[in-house]
A and B are shown apart, each in its own frame.
Chain A
């Protein structure tokens, strides 16, 4: 069956079934299509309770929806209007999870400029509240973890391994992890820049600082890339640090 004005119906509300029986009546064939209603049937107040009861989320109750925060928000104004802190607060207070999930792709895009928090006439800590909403959603499995968290984990592992930030290891290790083919020299098994696949954005990102570096610094960097400088007694310290971080829940 055709739907008139399909553009007005969100795709996720259209259900089409090969075989459909309603109240014992077989309506397969022409009548196999259902458009789910838009009606809000209930609030999830347990979701809101978790935010209100957390120390950094309790100011959410102070919001009166004036939208001072959203009007000030650079992400909303210059990137995507679907990022709307004022609206996220309203949805979270009522626990309208499906509406929050519709914006899951933009919800992580806060740049933490804190304009919202500094300007809020009601003293809502908007940026913090937003992070609590996201944290609660992750905890309840309602949203995927922020993509950059994956890099954060890789970064932490790299620092734990070498006791310092190894730029080369980090960069090429990461692009290898992302699925690019990296060419390595046969002896030291170190990646050779620009021989394998390198994303265009990365070429530009790397070339810009290299062009402005002086020769001795560049030589030092290359030396460090091939022969990692050791942090003193790192192996023992690493074990202790890893144990503490595991106990704190910072790494798994």
Chain B
């Protein structure tokens, strides 16, 4: 019988890997440090996912159901990897619940975490209640079903999206020189969701570039402008202040098209957060000896392989947001590819 495979992380990439391994009949151990599967989209109550505008339960529900019911997959919640010894083909792993297992291959899918905007003090997050994150806006929709200003509970007249918060930035110890990839598209989607419900609210997107790459260009950049009148203003917000006179915020920036400084009143400011490797990703990289980007600490694929799911250690595959910003559907497919690679590596005899 083939050796088993350890999948670390129960988010989209880990679920993709565990599901394909289960389907191929490979004994699989899935460890997840939280108390339920689904990863960030489920744990953080995302509202609508880009690019197909589906709900997290629609996308991840079938994966969770199949992984939990497949007898080949053992799901271990509230469990983390503690130590790993041995060599490729027979890794001896110790888990936080005291168990030890011998596995043939490992799929690392430990994911990302959202940038903490308190590290950009000039943006006033935590200081002014009406400065919120795009994650909080998602939760406003998913949990409360309405848009409001946290300071007074009323509908804002103007909403500003501040792009690239904690992305493309090497200031203040922030080493996130990468682009978050999802921010422009999600902001376009959130702006449309606001305009669909409240057509009289004016929405502004402050950008440096708009990077709705590939097929995302029309649905998440053109449509918000053309169909909903969302305004895109070129200029990076450098400071957010509060005016006690009218109780509104001021977004300070240079409009780089007009080439003039601007301080424009806004009622609600949404910070579009960047992505960073999760604490788990950094920890697992240390335990397994995986190569990391010196700046961002994201995992980096093997230099010899053209495929980005192959790590620098034989038998260890990396998938999803642990190696850089990625969208959910790509995370799922990378997980599935990593799972299939792991099955091949442990010599699984597949009969379907």
Establish whether residues B262 and A64, one from each chain, have CB atoms under 8 Å apart when the complex forms: no
Q: In the complex, what's the smallest C-beta–C-beta distance from A149 to chain B, in angstroms?
A: 29
Residues of B within 8 A of A215 (CB): none
Prevailing SS type, chain B contact patch: strand
B-side contacts of A38, CB under 8 Å: 260-261
List B contacts of A43 (CB < 8 A): 264
Interface residue tally on B, bucketed by range = 20 to 34
Q: Would A52 and B263 count as touching, CB distance under 8 A?
A: no
Are A64 and B202 also in contact (CB < 8 A) when A38-B260, A41-B263, A87-B257 are?
A: no
Select B233's contact among A37, A45, A94, beta carbons within 8 Å.
A94
Whether, in the assembled complex, B265 has its beta carbon less than 8 Å from a beta carbon of chain A, the answer is yes
Contact flags B183-227 to A (C-beta < 8 A → 1, else 0):
000000000000000000010000000100000000001100110
Q: Determine whether B3 belongs to the interface, using a CB cutoff of 8 Å to chain A.
A: no
A65 and chain B: residue at smallest CB distance:
B257
| Pick from A37, A40, A52, A61: contact of B255, CB under 8 Å | A40
B234 touches A65 (CB 8 A): yes
Determine the chain B residues whose CB is within 8 A of the CB of A41 once the complex forms. Answer: 262-264
A42 within 8 A of B: yes
Q: Evaluate whether A52 and B229 lie within 8 angstroms (CB atoms) in the complex, with A39-B260, A39-B263, A40-B258 already known.
A: yes
Q: Specify which of B210, B225, B260, B262 is in contact with A61 (CB 8 Å cutoff).
A: B225
Alpha-carbon gap, A94 to B233, bound state (A)? 9
Given contacts A61-B229, A64-B225, contact A39 B258 (CB under 8 A): no
CB distance from B276 to the nearest CB of A (A): 30
Whether the pair B231, A96 counts as a contact (CB closer than 8 A) is no
In the complex, whether B128 has a CB less than 8 A from a CB of chain A is no
- The answer on a CB contact under 8 Å between B264 and A40 is yes
- Closest residue on chain A to residue B225 by CB atoms: A61
CB of B261 within 8 A of CB of A40, answer: yes
Which residues from B are CB-within-8-Å of A94?
231, 233
Is B141 in the interface zone, CB < 8 Å from A? no
- Residues from chain A with a CB closer than 8 A to the CB of B210 are 64
- Whether, in the assembled complex, A157 has its beta carbon less than 8 Å from a beta carbon of chain B, the answer is no
B225-261: CB near A (< 8 Å → 1, else 0) gives: 1100101111000000000000000000001011011
CB distance from A48 to the nearest CB of B (A): 8
Instruction: State how many residues of chain A have any CB contact under 8 Å with chain B.
Output: 21
**A40 contact set on B, CB distance < 8 A:** 255, 258, 260-264
Per-residue 0/1 for A38-56: is the Cβ within 8 Å of any B Cβ (1 yes, 0 no)? 1111110100000010000
* Contact residues of A between 10 and 34, Cβ < 8 Å to B: none
> How far is it, in angstroms, between the C-alpha of A99 and the C-alpha of B259 when the chains are bound?
11
In the complex, what distance in Å separates the CA atom of A62 from the CA atom of B202?
A: 16
Q: How far is the CA of A6 from the CA of B210 in the complex (A)?
A: 37
B203 to chain A, nearest CB (A): 11
Q: How far is the CB of A52 from chain B (nearest CB, A)?
A: 6
Assess whether A108 is interfacial by the CB under 8 Å rule.
no
6 A-B pairs with C-beta separation under 8 A: A40-B258, A62-B222, A62-B225, A64-B221, A65-B257, A99-B258
Give the 7 A-B CB pairs with smallest separation, nearest first. Answer: A40-B262, A39-B261, A62-B226, A38-B260, A61-B229, A90-B257, A40-B260
Chain B residues with a Cβ under 8 A of chain A: 202, 210, 221-222, 225-226, 229, 231-234, 255, 257-258, 260-265
Known: A40-B261, A65-B232. 18 other contacts (CB 8 A): A38-B260, A38-B261, A39-B261, A39-B262, A39-B263, A40-B255, A40-B263, A40-B264, A42-B264, A43-B264, A45-B202, A61-B229, A62-B222, A62-B225, A64-B222, A87-B257, A91-B258, A93-B231
